[in-house]
Amino acid sequence: MNILLDVRTFLAFIISCNLVTVLLIAAYLWHHRDDATLNIFFCGKCIQTAAWAIALIRNGPFGIAAISLANSLLFVGYALETVALLKLTRTYDKAAYRFCLWVTLLSILGFNLVLIFDNHFNVRVVSASLSLAALLVLPIFRMIQGKNHSLLMHLMGCLYLALMISFLGRAALALFFYHAIESSSIGSSFIYGYTLITVNLAMILGSTGFILLLKEMTDRELVRLANYDDLTKTLNRRAFFERTKRFLEQCSKKQQKLSFVLFDVDQFKCINDTYGHDVGDRVLRDLSRRVYSQIDAEHLFSRFGGDEFAILMPGMDEEQSAVAAERIRSEIASAEINLPDKSLNYTISIGLLTVSPNRYVDVENLYIFCDNALYDAKKNGKNSVHRGQYQDEL
């Protein structure tokens, strides 16, 4: 048997591959039903599988209806897969929603108009191929152009680009060379063979590629949860200390100075007791947003706990760090939290320390001496910056 000519074998192969993917995802989702992105991907794969199954009866008494339904479902299935991919890469927004919706609706409308007014195999192939290629445009662009994306995501973008080119090539074959191919000994089966390769690439990307990308994004989220404070989006104390140790080594080798800033909110307990912990959380979020706007990208910003925060400023000497600390204090002093009946102002007190790192300088002592400087800032009337001194031995 020439498998290239056997359309039913071709469809059975696609259906079986999709069924395996659906069953594996269903088994995973049995205990992970709250994964919205994977649920969307699962629905997309189910709809695609149903579409290919309906395509098996395309030559029966309901041939036209089967072709219409199968392709319409296929567009919806691939659109859902596109949405899941965009959600996974955190690039799904209102613009992406509108794009996927309109491309899907226009694809369904366009294909059914072809069925009504020009129902030829090659024209249907052109319509379907162009529609599927169009659905890939946005995820390809957003995966390739992201500067902070991983190698895997960039590679996925390139492979999806190859898939889109394959769809466009299929459309070109059907549009310009179909009659020549149809008159040859292979006939229209060449189109099916080309389709088999294209759909195979789509299935690999839509299963293995997607799952690997899901694993990578899950790992990133776990790292984020382990290293960052959920409320303020700052580093937690453990992650801050680990990274500070590396900066101490780097600055020691480069013979650069390093500044350490420790601060907390003045009378924060009073804010919590008077206005409630929700307002206290708003103060901490507002504070972290304002501080982030005042520090450089290479600086480390951490919440140590409660209302206590720290900033590490590699490469900053006494003069530079004093200017930076005063700028932060002034920015916070101008802050206002809008409450239903009034505005809440708050201030911070800052302890500041600058050192020339060497083998005697460690993170724990940096914190201790800077904490002493913060205590002096509080004692001097709050809403102020006080510089401390580092001593090699306590």
pLDDT class of 6 with cuts at 50, 70, 90: low
Find the length of the chain. Answer: 394
pLDDT at 185 > cutoff 60: no
- With contact defined as beta carbons under 8 Å apart, do 80 and 101 qualify? no
Specify the higher pLDDT residue, 241 or 30. Answer: 241
Quote the DSSP letter at residue 215: H
- With contact defined as beta carbons under 8 Å apart, do 91 and 111 qualify? no
Sign of CA dihedral 234, 237, 238, 244: positive
Q: What digits encode the pLDDT tens for the residues 196-215?
A: 677 777 777 777 888 888 88
Q: Of 2-6, 162-166, 331-335, which range is least confident?
A: 2-6
Q: What's phi and psi for 229, nearest 5 deg? A: -85, 125
Q: What's phi and psi for 386, nearest 5 deg? A: -130, 130
Average pLDDT over residues 155-178: 85
pLDDT class of 3 with cuts at 50, 70, 90: very low
pLDDT at 15 > cutoff 90: no
Strand (E) or helix (H) holding 253: helix 237-254
Among 24-33, 34-43, 102-111, top mean pLDDT goes to 102-111
> Which of 222, 214, 224, 216 is CA-nearest to residue 39?
214
Share of the chain above pLDDT 70, in %: 91
pLDDT at 94: 92
Cα gap 190→43, rounded to integer Å: 31
Average pLDDT over residues 101-109: 95
Average pLDDT over residues 27-32: 82
pLDDT at 191: 60
Average pLDDT over residues 22-32: 84
**Lookup: tokens for 241:** 């200390």
Strand (E) or helix (H) holding 341: none
- With contact defined as beta carbons under 8 Å apart, do 298 and 240 qualify? no
Report the Cα–Cα distance between both ends of the chain, in Å, rounded.
86
Cα gap 181→206, rounded to integer Å: 30
Say which amino acid occupies 374: L
Share of the chain above pLDDT 90, in %: 41
The whole-model pTM stands at 0.70
Written as one string, the DSSP assignment of 146-188 is: -TT--HHHHHHHHHHHHHHHHHHHHHHIIIIIHHHHHTSSSTT
Say which amino acid occupies 194: Y
| Residue ranges of domains in the chain, CATH in brackets | 3-227 (1.20.1070), 237-387 (3.30.70.270)
Specify the higher pLDDT residue, 330 or 197. Answer: 330
Q: Of 166-175, 197-206, 269-278, 285-294, which range is least confident?
A: 197-206
Q: What's phi and psi for 147, nearest 5 deg? A: -70, -35
pLDDT class of 21 with cuts at 50, 70, 90: confident
Query: To the nearest 10°, the Cα dihedral for 48, 53, 59, 61?
Result: -110
Strand partners, 265: 348
pLDDT at 55: 83
Mean of per-residue pLDDT scores for the chain:
86
**Lookup: tokens for 17:** 């591959």
Q: What digits encode the pLDDT tens for the residues 235-281?
A: 999 999 999 999 999 888 888 899 999 999 999 999 999 989 999 99
